[in-house]
Amino acid sequence: MLDVKINSKKTELFFQAMIDKTRSNIDLMRDVAAEMIASKDENFDAEGRPTLWKALKPKTIERRLKAGKWPGQILQVNRNLNNSILPKVDENRAIIGTNLPYARPHQFGSPRQKIPARPFLRLQEDEKQSIKKRITEWYAKP
């Protein structure tokens, strides 16, 4: 068995700081969740990124016109879907999501329901890099 002892206060403090950070990631996870929510908001505002969502069918537009909800934005008749997407964080992860049953077919598409995929929970490459950078910087701080 190998027993290593380090007699350096600076090294000891560095490792203690790393241990402390792994125990208290909640602030980091909140920041990551906030970036994910901002991305989701941009996706709704742009009606799809980097590719625009498929346009509404004429029947859908006609139905919205009759209801006084057109012109408007795709997936945003009353903003319920957008507003239902909330963050959940703990010490080790940040997620955003919704419990609305119609969210899944709109996110992934549903051939059976004839709903095209309109992914609203999609991080862009620059957003992924920003999150990676934030995490790297978090752990690099002494």
Domain that residue 84 falls in: 25-140
3-state helix, strand, coil in the chain (%, to 5): 50, 5, 40
* Residue 108 forms part of a structural domain: yes
Q: Taking a C-beta distance cutoff of 8 angstroms, is the pair 26, 90 a contact?
A: yes
The answer to the question of residue 13 being in a domain is no
Number of structural domains (the chain) is 1
Question: pTM for the complete prediction?
Answer: 0.81
> Residue 37 and residue 30: Cα distance in Å, rounded?
10
Answer whether residue 70 is part of any domain.
yes
Is 130 within a domain? Answer: yes
Those residues with Cβ within 8 angstroms of residue 92's Cβ, 6 or more apart along the chain or in another chain: 25, 29
Task: Give me the tens of pLDDT residue by residue for the chain, a chain 142 residues long.
Answer: 556 566 677 777 777 777 766 667 899 999 999 999 999 999 999 999 999 999 999 999 999 999 999 999 999 999 999 999 999 999 889 999 999 999 999 999 999 999 999 999 999 999 999 999 999 998 887 6
Instruction: Specify if 17 maps to a domain.
Output: no
Structural domain includes residue 3: no
Q: What DSSP character marks residue 25?
A: -
pLDDT in the model for residue 8: 77
Residues 6+ apart with CB under 8 A from 80: 100
Query: Do the domain assignments include residue 20?
Result: no
Give which of 38, 12, 8 is closest to 123, Cα–Cα.
38
In a domain, 1, yes or no: no
Residue 2: what pLDDT?
Answer: 57
* Closest of 37, 25, 46 to residue 90, by C-alpha: 25
CB contact at 8 A, 134 and 94: no
